[in-house]
Amino acid sequence: MAAKRILLLAGDFVEDYEIMVPFQMLLMVGHTVHAVSPGKAAGDQIATAIHDFEGHQTYSEKRGHNFTLNAAYADVKEGDYDALLIPGGRAPEQLGTDESVLDLVRAFAASGKPIAAVCHGPQLLAAAGVIAGRRISAYPACRAEVMLAGADYQALPMDGAITDGPFVTGPAWPAHPAWIAQFLKVLGTTIEA
């Protein structure tokens, strides 16, 4: 397996599990992962939020860990990476207001490189206008945005995921086993037992 270079795009109040688990898992299987956030450099931290499902009408939110970025956003170029990963939480709605972020997402989509997004991550794909005609899952509260962006919203179980071409999406962190497995498959990563 050839190691891939993956860009992980996040911001303050990214969902804790949705940044920590994929970051560590992709490193574990030998990929290089650069975690970046606009206006931040390597060594800077972003705050995370923990979203949980506790029987309320929607998820609850608690303060999570700090996550230390390992690369500078200012240095990022789509051509230096093989794939893009967008975790959820509250960060995607803010990232979607930054034109440089939208241009970066559009560059990955135009290149046909794999893009994995989970939970609220597809909000950023919708804001960038890159999912029209695709089958895309997201947290149910993002359904309208996904549909308004021209995608076919997939109402999956919380532990489900879907791949459509280069896009790998899932509704929330319980989907990690399916979502990460499908992303690894799109990346061409094989794991021997």
- Could you tell me if residue 193 is inside a domain? no
Residue percentage of the chain with pLDDT more than 90: 90
Would you say residue 72 lies in a domain?
Answer: yes
Which position has the token pair 């021997």? 192
φ and ψ of 102, to 5 deg: -60, -40
Residue 73 lies in a domain: yes
pLDDT of amino acid 155:
97
Contact residues for 58 (Cβ-Cβ < 8 A; gap 6+): 141
pTM for the full predicted model = 0.95
How many domains are there within the chain?
1
CATH classification of the domain holding 150: 3.40.50.880
- Residue 55: inside a domain: no
pLDDT tens digits, 48-72: 999 887 888 877 888 899 999 999 9
Tell me, yes or no, whether 104 lies in a domain: yes
